[in-house]
Chain A
Amino acid sequence: MKKRGIGIGASLYPTGMSGGGDSSQAQVKVQPDGTVVLTTGACDIGEGCKTVLAQMAAEVLGINYEQVKVINDNTDNCPLSFGTFASRVTYVDGKATVDAAEKARDILFEVAGQMLEANPGDMEAVDGKISVKGSPDRSLPIGEVAGAATFGMRKLVVGLGHYMREPSAPDPETGEIDPFCTLAWAAVLAEVEVDTETGEVDLLRLVCSYDVGTAINPLLTEGQIEGGGAMSIGAALSEELYPNYPSLEQAPTNLGDYAIPTTMDIPDIEAVIHECPSTNGPFGAKGIGEMTANTPAPAIINAIHDAVGVWIMTLPATPERVLRALDEKGGA
């Protein structure tokens, strides 16, 4: 018999390294023609930091995304980033990038101020131009300002940015600590169909709702939600490094035996993005990368319980485990 059930799960996830101290730096250089090179030490492991950091730099400088080029490939040239982990890059490297871009912009404001005989504090950078706020006719293309800075005023239009949250250690007695930059929030619903004869669980639906602060790029946010979702589905239903735990025997030696989900195991994941801006993040962003891999698994296990009334207390819910649980319970 096939039985359906629905389960939910919720979670929070901290942005940045627990306890802080993980610093990141960035350099934004405005070329004499107004195009921009962002140099960062953050690694792109697939999550897309080159894309979102370039977006942030472009936003600050009032130029197109396409006009920003990113260098992140070597330690001889790139400033320090502590690394791409702890869902920290959008937030921490993002803040460093914004800081760097603002400092570069300040130089442009200063130069443009002289050219337009205006106060640098009254300038803005929008639509590829440096303008006096409120008087759109008093403006100069960013390339002209950068060119004048380079050749006329002998200035290097470079901004150096940095961000680090103060390190803090847990109190040995109470564990008191300020462990995160900000928190992101998640809730997930899973619908499954359980075959009571075979113990097989078919995931019919996975709906994911995530607060990511400001989504710097919703397309990439969805990519994280779907990718992390897939990973959590694998954890819920098929993956196990030591099937005979704690024994090492029968540990998988290939990707046929260690069964990560294929196209056939994942439904089209439905995602909804909620934006509750962080108080201190770049443009209100929060970290999203890791949290997406956490909540689907328990939602699926809760859905199995809803369907057939058994609790799978040890992941993954393989057909054998489900059958055994059904047996112990005396049937669905």
Chain B
Amino acid sequence: MTMKVVGQRVKRYDGMAHVTGETRFVDDVIVPGTLTVKALRSPVSKGTIKTMDTSSAEAMPGVAGVITAEDVPCNAYGLVPDQPVIADETVRFKGEVVAAVAAVDEDTALEALEKINLEIEEEECVLDPLEAMKPDAPKVRPEGNVFMYDERPFRQIILGDIEAGFKDADVVVENEYVHPSLEHAQLELQTSLAVPAASGKLTIYTVSQALYFHLGQLCGILQMEPDQIQCKSWAPKTGSSWRHNAGFSDVNYIGGTVGGGFGSKNDIHADHVTALLALKTGQPCKWRWTREEDLLYSTFRGAWFITIKDGVKKDGRIVARQMKSIRDAGGYSSLNPYVVDKHSFVATGPYFVPNVQIHGYCVYTNKPPASSMRGFGVTPSVFATELQMDKIAQELGMDPWEVRFINAYRTGDQTPTRRVLNSVALVEVMQKLAEKAGVDLPDKLKNMNSKERGWT
């Protein structure tokens, strides 16, 4: 069947709006009477809140409302719901929100933050995941500093017989790789505008990459079905118009046009705070993070420490891979356990390895929570694996192209998670790369394809 529209280089659907300046991002939505939100953040990486007195801030002219942990009906959210919207007693990273203010303008909001009497008793923190894994390390989380996958402190992937694989190998190539923390640096800042209606319905303009995923979390935070969500505190202690048993239809979540995401907007950063303040003050509340806040306190790609030990045959075949990867997750789970999973599932890269043992660790430290960033955990595994391939080539005195062609997945190969592959195209993709780049491959490689191994 010939296709007429699919496969065509049609112009971007919203391109016209982009070039005329008509595209409306959250920050461009103007609602009369909108209050400005600012947050008070923890000055220390770890500590216990001893005093939190917001009364003088609240008494200031121009201040419409102040919220603290006490105002959050269900103060735990995330895929693993372990992150408070506003820190309650314990702070786990520098920059964690401990209170938020809504005021008539930015200057007033900032002045109000200064009037909040906050005393935090600083405690010893741990920033290095390798330190955090030690038994006597300061505790980031009460459950322990290492995320438990079932019974294990790591995700395990096992295929074949790793010992036999190493026995079969002619050489062992072992290296350590470090992938640093990276920031998404999407150009649209974390921004949220919440507009309450007298009917109780809340409209939230969001930068979310995942409307329904966040809507579910938001409904969890704002209260609801206490028997279904484990929560510490329910009814707010301050006078606000909480509606219980609200659900998805009580919030209209408006978004879908995002000024760059790259994974930075897979976690709720601002919508919960604006929602709570809008409900408390009865007025529209907008919070746009500063670039400094976005860089320092929003989610990011956590650092990775990766050790790869490969058993290799003289002919270039990798016959065993043992890999240990440690992810610096920061203070809360956010999407980190999933990131480590994804990393581990494809940890041999695009290569067939018959004997595999992968251990992926997700380790908490007193940093802001890391989370998803374009490529999840695959990015660091590609980095490590691809340097490793060149190191193997060097060790064997082989061409880097050849090592990759020899080990490239073929149709019908089994992955470390025991999937049998179809729609495999690495060999062809490499051949096309060589052609485009003007590299003349040896005939042996030119004649290979993804359907068959081409060697035994």
Contacts and interface: CB of A to CB of B under 8 A. Distances in A.
B387 A45 contact: no
Contact of B428 (A174, A276, A279): A276
Contacts of A176: 417-418
Given A172-B150, A294-B379, A51 B261 contact: no
Contacts of B295: 241, 251-255, 258
B8 A217 contact: yes
B172 interface: no
B400 A8 contact: yes
A211 B387 contact: no
Given A82-B213, A84-B209, 11 more contacts: A55-B8, A65-B8, A65-B10, A75-B212, A175-B417, A218-B7, A255-B291, A274-B432, A298-B382, A302-B400, A313-B178
Interface of B: 3-14, 45, 94, 127-129, 131, 149-152, 155-159, 175-183, 185, 208-213, 215, 248-249, 251-263, 265-266, 291-292, 295-296, 300-301, 303, 328, 338, 341-342, 344-346, 349-350, 358, 365, 367, 372, 374-376, 378-379, 382-383, 385-387, 389-391, 400-401, 404, 408-409, 416-419, 421-426, 428-430, 432-437, 439, 450
A84 B253 CA distance: 15
B390 A7 contact: yes
Contact of A175 (B303, B387, B416): B416
Contacts of B251: 75
A84 B14 CA distance: 17
Contacts of B252: 74-76
B36 to A, nearest CB: 21
A148 interface: no
Contacts of A263: none
A170 to B, nearest CB: 7
Interface in A78-108: 78, 80-86
A160 to B, nearest CB: 16
Nearest to A289: B374
Interface stretch (A110-118, A139-147, A180-188): A180-188
| Contact count band on A | 35 or more
B374 A172 contact: no
Interface centre among A18, A245, A253, A274 (most CB of B within 10 A): A18
B429 A209 contact: yes
Interface in A47-90: 48, 50-51, 54-56, 58-59, 62, 64-65, 70, 72-76, 78, 80-86
A290 B374 contact: yes
A239 B211 contact: no
Contact of A183 (B291, B300, B423, B434): B423
B295 to A, nearest CB: 6
Contacts of B421: 183
A159 interface: no
B390 A45 contact: no
